[in-house]
Amino acid sequence: MANLRQITVTWDLQWDDEVDVVCTDAGVAGLAGALSAADAGAEVLVAKVQAPQVSDAAGGPPGWFTIDSGDSETAAYLAELAGDLDPAALSLLDDGVPVRPAPTPAAPPARKVPPFVGAELREWTSRCIRSPSGYLYTRVTDWTATAMLSATGDAVGITEIGSMSPGPGDRAGSVLDWLDTEARSRDVDVEVVTRLDRLVFEDGQVVGAVFTTADGPLAVRARHGVLLCRAGVPARGTAQLPAAGVMRVALVSKSASRFGRVELLTADPA
């Protein structure tokens, strides 16, 4: 594998803004990530793509895990994180926002470092890249997550955003609408952009992102990381389910992984 520390800034860049967390679009993952960071006291900027190209409809290759500007450093970084997976060959999962039985609190670990299972992380990476609610956070961190155990006994990190009742005819769309309303009510900063051009690196670490806007490039430094995510929710109205009452919207992650996705947590065994 390539060494991520070989990736470094090769140009002089003047920052236009500086925040704690940058979210690269105002989709389900971007808004949920922004809300979780804002609730933790972080300064957040959400870059909303004004006219996203919907090239990742159900059955097509996941499009959020690529940069259409062709920036070589960003492409190398994403390729390294994907490992031996081929994102272009992965089909999109049809569960716009998946439902998970509510996890239970995990007991304190018997040792400080949990066992590392590479195959499990590879499967989790594939699942998140394929998911309409998937995201990549450029730091391995659990700064807002609570350690929990899933119904199958897997260790997961859970960051709850709030509770809502998803629409039975359009689960993903209703979640996105709810997150958008929550972001507005909490005064999350949203900047309209044309596209994400590239990530910016210093000593192998992502330190910001550059966007194209109607007024020219927008370079935003991220003190705590960049959340790379999908624009909106493709194929609104699919992945239907019966009315299920109140569910909890949460970011779900795994230890030692930069990948996660937004899920709905329910106490209803059905």
Q: What is the pLDDT of residues 184-219, one digit of tens each?
A: 999 999 999 999 999 999 998 999 999 999 999 999
For the chain, percent of residues with pLDDT exceeding 70: 81
In this prediction, residue 123 carries a pLDDT of 92
Q: Is the pLDDT of residue 265 over 60?
A: yes
Distances (CA, A) of 111 to 11, 108, 146, 152, 204: 44, 9, 17, 21, 30
Contact 132, 93 (CB under 8 A): yes
Rounded to 5°, angle at Cα 35 from 32 and 37: 110
In this prediction, residue 250 carries a pLDDT of 97
In this prediction, residue 11 carries a pLDDT of 53
Contact 156, 253 (CB under 8 A): yes
N-term to C-term CA, the chain = 43
pTM, two decimals, is 0.87
In this prediction, residue 61 carries a pLDDT of 53
pLDDT tens for 66-124 read 887 889 999 999 999 998 898 878 888 877 899 999 999 877 655 555 554 567 889 99
In this prediction, residue 10 carries a pLDDT of 42
Helix, strand, coil percentages in the chain from 3-state DSSP, rounded to 5? 20, 30, 45
**92 vs 74: CA distance, rounded Å:** 22
Contact 225, 136 (CB under 8 A): no
Which of 35-44, 164-173, 215-224, 233-242 is the least confident region?
233-242
pLDDT tens for 130-141 read 998 999 999 987
Radius of gyration of the chain (CA): 18
Q: Is beta strand 216-229 parallel, antiparallel or unpaired with respect to 259-266?
A: unpaired
CA 147 to chain centre: 18
Confidence of residue 256 (pLDDT cuts 50, 70, 90): confident
Per the DSSP assignment, residues forming a β-bridge with 178 are none
